[in-house]
Amino acid sequence: MKLLITGGAGFIGSNFIQYILKKYPDYKIVNLDVLTYAGNLENLKDVEKNPNYRFVKGNILDILNIELDKDIDVVVNFSAETHVDRSILNGQDFIKTNVLGTYNLLEFCRERNIRFHHISTDEVFGALGPDDLPFNENTLYCPRSPYSASKAASDHLVRSYYHTYDLPITISNCSNNYGPHQFPEKLHGLFITNLLEGKKIPIYGDGLQIRDWLYVTDHCEAVDLILHQGKLGETYCVGGNTEKTNLEITKSILKNLELGEEMIEFIKDRPGHDRRYAIDITKIKNELGWEPKVSFEQGMKKTIEWYKENKDWWQKIKNGEYQNYYKKQYRDKKI
């Protein structure tokens, strides 16, 4: 099988590429990534010499004009602008990448009759009250930020291509991921790296916002199962069965690093901050036999250890060295 992975230099995409090449050594992967601020080829150093892996620098907005392999079987779309805070400051890039980019990928697949799997988020469903049942595949969409609205629009586009053009598609809506290679603007990466630098942790509002947390390799396994066993035209909700407040996550990180709560700094809450997300995984568990394997405690220890052992990786990102290096490499046509 040959897969085109879009956004494969990012956090989840790079973990998925490594997962697939390890599990299916005869599969071939083409990784298409434009290398925005969150795309990092260092995430894929372990596979860059693998003969079944090829990197192509390119934007999904231009995919119809990019020369790619003719024998692609599946497109897995990890490409997305994902950070809610950035979408609040400027939503334009989110509309371009998440909506127009997905449209162009769908057209690419329609022209070649290629199966398309779309990675989405639980944030398209809106927010839950403290006693509300978790989101499931039948939950009505109610996005509450420019980011989640752009992902909701892309989900609807994907489904429309299934019903209108019979394009073979599947969609997965996942909860919050964490683990190795996560860009250090997201909660785990930011908090851990701040503490390793001796800086305080900034917590929005009272820190009691609840999220369901999913370790990234569990997510990779779920997508793998959907690709191989999922029913075309269907959506699968993928969650970690781990609802935690931001404050609980913070205290867990502090405990693992043997630091006190004086390292917490409460800051003004962001506009429209959703209070709670949670995912019901009944469908994917019953139909595909998937459920998360990595417990919250195991995942936290693995994540913290990875950041401790890979200071060069995140320090380059925080200092802007990675982006400057690759800009020069492309300018000098070395990549």
Is 122 one of the catalytic residues?
yes
Separation of alpha carbons 83 and 187, rounded Å: 11
DSSP SS3 for 146:
helix
Separation of alpha carbons 34 and 80, rounded Å: 11
As given in the structure block, the two tokens for residue 262 are 């004086």
Degrees, nearest 5: CA angle 147-153-158:
125
What is the DSSP secondary structure assignment for residue 279, as one 8-state letter?
A: B
Separation of alpha carbons 118 and 120, rounded Å: 6
Per annotation, catalytic residue among 122, 212, 274, 280: 122
Do the beta carbons of residue 74 and residue 6 sit within 8 Å? no
What is the DSSP secondary structure assignment for residue 276, as one 8-state letter?
A: B
Nearest residue to 102 (alpha-carbon basis) of 160, 26, 144: 160
In this structure, the strands spanning 28-33 and 210-215 are unpaired
Per annotation, catalytic residue among 123, 155, 274, 280: 123
- Spell out a b/e string for 55-65, using b for 16 or more CB atoms within 10 Å of the CB, else e: bbbbbbbebee
Per annotation, catalytic residue among 53, 147, 162, 277: 147
Do the beta carbons of residue 312 and residue 201 sit within 8 Å? no
DSSP SS3 for 249:
helix
Is 123 one of the catalytic residues?
yes
Do the beta carbons of residue 21 and residue 50 sit within 8 Å? yes
Q: Which residue has the tokens 């982006």?
A: 323
Is 204 one of the catalytic residues?
no
What is the DSSP secondary structure assignment for residue 230, as one 8-state letter?
A: P
As given in the structure block, the two tokens for residue 151 are 């992902």
Kindly list the catalytic residues: 122-123, 147
